[in-house]
Chains A and B, each alone.
Chain A
Amino acid sequence: MGMTITEKILAAHSGRQTVEPGDLIEARVDLVLGNDITAPIAIKEFRELGIKNVFDPEGVALIPDHFTPNKDIKSAEQVKILRDFAREFGIVHFYDVGRVGVEHALLPELGLTRPGMLIIGADSHTCTYGAMGAFATGVGSTDMAAAMATGKAWFKVPESIRFVYRGKLNPYVNGKDLILHTIGDIGVDGALYMAMEFTGEAIDGLSLEGRLTMANMAIEAGGKNGIFRPDEKTVEYVKTRSRRPYTVYESDTDARYADVREYDASRIEPLVAFPHLPENVKPAREAGVEIDQVVIGSCTNGRIEDLREAAAILKNRKAHRNIRLIIIPATQEIYRRAMDEGLLEIFIQAEAAVSAPTCGPCLGGHMGILAEGERCLATTNRNFVGRMGHPKSEVYLAGPAVAAASAVLGRIAHPDELR
């Protein structure tokens, strides 16, 4: 019996020839990460162990991105816990204001997430790195603390669902629409505890950035991880960013799947997830909802390709007078590229506020909190009750093209309306 890519990575990290779904294994981790919300608890627990070293000073990443730049005294204290710990324990990958970016955009950019790695992070969107052909999953602070000490974590080997996207993508359709379509199909617990393996012609044609967007939202279907077969695009990306070794795994043709779901990508159009769950998906064309704010950014859609897509629509246009448009490049490198390519000029002409990298508004932290009754269309990943502010505010999720068009029109719209 063959193995899936997920099973192969887990087997390789637990010193086994094979693993099967349901096996409980202790596996070696290559990278452990945490942020300014989750790492303080992990650091407190780690310190209580009284040991002198982390398992590998290069294997721990501390990324204070959620409330950066510090929004208040308490958040500043939390980041200080990370900063002090990083200095004391020689943590190589700690990034502070001016260098920090949204963690799941920053770490791939730094070449820290490579094919075949096993990565855990005290952040649910750690599953993003599956786009690189790595096994990556979110855990809590205690698992992070234990892994910082031992370099290991326990896992139940997940069953895999194979998602096949046939055909070519329509204009304005990207990774966000594919993953929203998928979550709309299987529901927010449709892949609970399972690996989501994304394949097919439309995936081969998708950029690495589009794949990062898709893997990022595997957790929104309850998935343990989302994963893609590394191809020439992956290898090229990794080689330009890291000299460290990596291993390309792919699923065997006779690998076992709990389910296989096939989609005709050519029939998928730009989509929007309505409040208050990512599974409430409708075509953007049919939405017709008036909105107050648009946010373009986050670990889901804050990369350069996303900003280019938004800029193509915003060029020579202005945000609707009722709209507050907030655009947040996810990292300093993306910010600089947006500047070099003239995208920032387009955004500011469009009367957008362009912010330094931060998770900020996505989780209702800062930089764009909603008042009671307000509605925001965001390129982020969650539209739960109160996610971006007041419990009686609403969040709608879409890709950057729909977000930009909606900012111009003042209501959720298909970008076609502006042609």
Chain B
Amino acid sequence: MKAKGKAWRFGDDVNTDEIIPARHLNTFDPDELAMHCMEDADPEFMKKIAPGDIIVAGKNFGCGSSREHAPIAIKAARISCVIADSYARIFYRNSINIGLPIVESAEAAKGIAEGDVIEVDFDTGKIVNHTQKREYAARPFPPFMQDLIAKGGLMNKVKSELAGGNH
């Protein structure tokens, strides 16, 4: 699986209140949430992006609340991938569980400039910066999480376990 799009840069410690402010949490409809994606970090974000674009951020992306609405909003906004130096743990877990592609790479997080055209190969962990003609390596997922991703997220895994009498 691959993702390709234009990079939109954010800083360190982007929290889930910025990704999807709580004033919009009286719904869990993905399309409605997407309309407000990144609203308190950049109010113009949704007007600027195109499907497939990529969010690039610094350390501790997604810190704060456990709201799954944050990765849901990003996914429904048709962001194809998030690249960050590091992730807050609940956001990381939620993204894997719902199938939002995220990768960790300190060098990519540092090297990519706003507007660069980026391609991510999830199978090899290779991140290509077409604008700067550079390549970065993403930190590989542990095997347990690769399995979870391959099974299509946590609920699909639970479904197959329940069906297999593995409960």
User: A residues within 8 Å of B by Cβ?
Assistant: 24, 37-38, 40-41, 44-45, 48-49, 51, 66-67, 71-72, 74-75, 78, 121-124, 126, 138-143, 145-146, 149-150, 154, 188-189, 192-193, 219, 222, 224, 277, 363-365, 382, 384-387, 391
Contact with A along B12-27 (1 / 0, CB 8 A): 0101011001110111
Tell me, yes or no, whether B46 is within 8 Å of chain A by CB: no
Contact (A37, B67) CB under 8 Å given A24-B144, A188-B13: yes
CA distance in complex: A41, B13 (Å): 25
CA distance in complex: A253, B94 (Å): 35
CA distance in complex: A66, B161 (Å): 33
Q: How many A-B residue pairs have CB under 8 A?
A: 138
Which residues does chain A contribute within 8 Å of B40, judged by CB atoms? 385-386, 391
- Range of interface residues on B (Cβ < 8 Å): 35 or more
Which residues does chain B contribute within 8 Å of A141, judged by CB atoms? 68, 94
Which residues does chain B contribute within 8 Å of A364, judged by CB atoms? 17, 21-23
Are A51 and B68 in contact, CB atoms less than 8 angstroms apart? Answer: no
Tell me, yes or no, whether B63 is within 8 Å of chain A by CB: yes
Are B158 and A363 in contact, CB atoms less than 8 angstroms apart? Answer: no
Tell me, yes or no, whether B97 is within 8 Å of chain A by CB: yes
Instruction: For residue B29, give the distance in angstroms from its CB to the closest CB of chain A.
Output: 10
Are A365 and B22 in contact, CB atoms less than 8 angstroms apart? Answer: yes
Instruction: For residue B127, give the distance in angstroms from its CB to the closest CB of chain A.
Output: 22
Contact (A38, B60) CB under 8 Å given A71-B26, A385-B40: no
Q: Name which of B66, B90, B155 has the most chain A CB atoms within 10 A of its CB.
A: B66
* Contact pick for A154, options B17, B144, B159, CB 8 Å: B144
* Contact pick for B66, options A72, A139, A145, A222, CB 8 Å: A139
Contact with A along B123-167 (1 / 0, CB 8 A): 000000000000000000010100000000111011101100001
User: B residues within 8 Å of A by Cβ?
Assistant: 13, 15, 17-18, 21-23, 25-28, 39-41, 43, 59-60, 63-69, 72, 86, 88-90, 93-94, 97-98, 142, 144, 153-155, 157-159, 161-162, 167
| Cβ-closest chain B residue relative to A381 | B64
CA distance in complex: A24, B96 (Å): 15
CA distance in complex: A363, B27 (Å): 15
* Contact pick for A385, options B17, B23, B88, B98, CB 8 Å: B17
CA distance in complex: A145, B98 (Å): 12
CA distance in complex: A150, B167 (Å): 7
Instruction: For residue B114, give the distance in angstroms from its CB to the closest CB of chain A.
Output: 20
CA distance in complex: A188, B40 (Å): 19
Which residues does chain B contribute within 8 Å of A391, judged by CB atoms? 21, 39-40, 43
CA distance in complex: A38, B67 (Å): 6
Are A38 and B155 in contact, CB atoms less than 8 angstroms apart? Answer: no
Instruction: For residue A104, give the distance in angstroms from its CB to the closest CB of chain B.
Output: 12
* Contact pick for A142, options B41, B68, B88, B89, CB 8 Å: B68
Instruction: For residue B92, give the distance in angstroms from its CB to the closest CB of chain A.
Output: 9
Which residues does chain A contribute within 8 Å of B159, judged by CB atoms? 49
Which residues does chain A contribute within 8 Å of B66, judged by CB atoms? 38, 121-124, 126, 138-140
18 A–B contacts, CB within 8 A, in A order: A38-B67, A41-B68, A49-B155, A139-B66, A139-B90, A139-B93, A140-B98, A141-B68, A142-B68, A146-B158, A149-B162, A149-B167, A192-B86, A363-B65, A364-B23, A365-B22, A382-B64, A384-B18
Which residues does chain A contribute within 8 Å of B64, judged by CB atoms? 124, 219, 382, 384
Are B18 and A385 in contact, CB atoms less than 8 angstroms apart? Answer: yes
* Contact pick for B97, options A67, A142, A193, CB 8 Å: A142
Instruction: For residue B15, give the distance in angstroms from its CB to the closest CB of chain A.
Output: 5
Which residues does chain B contribute within 8 Å of A44, judged by CB atoms? 28
| Cβ-closest chain B residue relative to A120 | B66
| Cβ-closest chain B residue relative to A193 | B89
CA distance in complex: A75, B22 (Å): 12
Instruction: For residue B123, give the distance in angstroms from its CB to the closest CB of chain A.
Output: 22
Are A189 and B59 in contact, CB atoms less than 8 angstroms apart? Answer: yes
Are A386 and B144 in contact, CB atoms less than 8 angstroms apart? Answer: no
Which residues does chain A contribute within 8 Å of B17, judged by CB atoms? 363-364, 382, 384-387
CA distance in complex: A45, B94 (Å): 14
Are B15 and A143 in contact, CB atoms less than 8 angstroms apart? Answer: no
Are A189 and B86 in contact, CB atoms less than 8 angstroms apart? Answer: yes
CA distance in complex: A384, B65 (Å): 11
CA distance in complex: A391, B65 (Å): 17
Contact (A142, B161) CB under 8 Å given A189-B59, A365-B22: no
Are A189 and B88 in contact, CB atoms less than 8 angstroms apart? Answer: yes
CA distance in complex: A51, B158 (Å): 11
Contact (A140, B97) CB under 8 Å given A24-B144, A222-B89, A224-B89: yes
Which residues does chain A contribute within 8 Å of B155, judged by CB atoms? 45, 48-49, 142, 145-146
Instruction: For residue A327, give the distance in angstroms from its CB to the closest CB of chain B.
Output: 21
| Cβ-closest chain A residue relative to B71 | A140
Are A189 and B144 in contact, CB atoms less than 8 angstroms apart? Answer: no
Instruction: For residue B89, give the distance in angstroms from its CB to the closest CB of chain A.
Output: 5
Which residues does chain A contribute within 8 Å of B153, judged by CB atoms? 142
Are A140 and B18 in contact, CB atoms less than 8 angstroms apart? Answer: no
Are B13 and A386 in contact, CB atoms less than 8 angstroms apart? Answer: no
